[in-house]
Amino acid sequence: MNTQNHQTSPEGRLYLVTGASGYVGGRLVRDLLSDKKRVRVFVRDAKKIQGQSWASQVEVVEGNASNVQDLERALAGVNTAYYLLHSINVATDFGDIESAMARSFALASEAAHVAQIIYLGGIANDENRSRHLTSRMNTGSQLASTSVPVLELRAGIIIGSGSASFEMLRHLTHRLPIMTTPKWVSNRTQPIAIRDVLYYLRSAANLAKPENRICDIGGPEVVTYAAMMQNFSKLSGLRKRIIIQVPVLTPKLSSLWIGFVTPVPTSLARPLVESLISEVVVDSRKSVTELIPLPPEGLLTVSQAIELALTRVAENHVDTRWSDASFPMAPWQKAQSDPDWAGELMLKDHREIESDVSIEKIWEQIEGIGGERGWFGSGWLWYLRGLIDRMVGGVGLRRGRRDPVHLRVGDTVDFWRVEAMEHGKSLRLYAEMILPGKAWLEFTLSESDGKSVVTQDALFEPRGLGGQIYWYLVSPFHFFIFPTMLRNIVKAARKSHTS
Within this chain, do residues 18 and 145 fall inside the same structural domain, yes or no?
A: yes
**Of the candidates 16, 22, 117, the residue with the CA atom closest to the CA atom of residue 74:** 16
Within this chain, do residues 423 and 285 fall inside the same structural domain, yes or no?
A: no
Within this chain, do residues 82 and 42 fall inside the same structural domain, yes or no?
A: yes
Q: List the beta strands (DSSP E) in 314-436.
A: 347-355, 412-413, 416-422, 426-431
Half-sphere exposure of 180 (CA within 13 A, CB side): 9
Calpha distance 166→323 (Å, rounded): 12
Within this chain, do residues 216 and 99 fall inside the same structural domain, yes or no?
A: yes
Task: Specify if 171 maps to a domain.
Answer: no
Amino acid at 62: E
Task: Specify if 96 maps to a domain.
Answer: yes
Q: What is the DSSP string of 54-94?
A: TGGGSEEEE--TT-HHHHHHHHTT-SEEEE----TTT-TTH
Within this chain, do residues 368 and 406 fall inside the same structural domain, yes or no?
A: yes
Task: Specify if 266 maps to a domain.
Answer: no
Range of the domain at 63: 3-158+187-221+278-324
Using DSSP, how many helices (H) and how many strands (E) does the chain show?
13, 19
CATH number at residue 462: 3.30.530.20
Task: Specify if 308 maps to a domain.
Answer: yes
Handedness of CA 206, 207, 212, 216 (dihedral sign): negative
Q: What is the DSSP string of 248-277?
A: T--HHHHHHHHHHHSSS-HHHHHHHHHHTT
Within this chain, do residues 291 and 355 fall inside the same structural domain, yes or no?
A: no
167 strand-pairing partners:
none
Within this chain, do residues 483 and 358 fall inside the same structural domain, yes or no?
A: yes
Per the structure, the count of domains in the chain is 2
Domain boundary among 290, 324, 358: 324
CATH number at residue 134: 3.40.50.720
* pLDDT by residue, tens only, the chain of 499 residues: 344 465 556 777 999 999 888 889 999 999 999 999 999 999 988 888 887 889 899 999 999 988 999 999 999 999 999 999 876 554 456 667 888 899 999 999 999 999 999 999 888 765 656 677 788 888 999 999 999 999 999 998 888 887 777 777 777 787 778 777 777 778 888 999 999 999 999 999 999 899 999 999 999 999 988 888 888 888 888 888 887 777 766 666 666 666 666 666 666 666 666 666 777 888 888 889 989 999 999 999 999 998 888 888 776 666 776 566 655 444 434 444 443 433 356 889 999 999 999 999 999 999 999 988 899 988 888 888 888 887 777 777 778 888 889 998 888 898 899 988 999 999 999 998 888 888 999 999 999 988 999 999 999 988 877 888 889 899 888 888 999 999 999 999 998 867 6
DSSP character at residue 330? P
Within this chain, do residues 119 and 192 fall inside the same structural domain, yes or no?
A: yes
Domain boundary among 290, 309, 324: 324
Calpha distance 259→270 (Å, rounded): 9
DSSP character at residue 28? H
Within this chain, do residues 315 and 452 fall inside the same structural domain, yes or no?
A: no
Three-state secondary structure call for residue 395: coil
Within this chain, do residues 291 and 376 fall inside the same structural domain, yes or no?
A: no
Within this chain, do residues 366 and 467 fall inside the same structural domain, yes or no?
A: yes
Task: Specify if 258 maps to a domain.
Answer: no
Handedness of CA 383, 314, 46, 23 (dihedral sign): negative
Within this chain, do residues 369 and 316 fall inside the same structural domain, yes or no?
A: no
Task: Specify if 236 maps to a domain.
Answer: no
Task: Specify if 315 maps to a domain.
Answer: yes
| List of residues 6+ apart from 71 with CB closer than 8 A | 63, 65, 104, 105, 108
Task: Specify if 311 maps to a domain.
Answer: yes
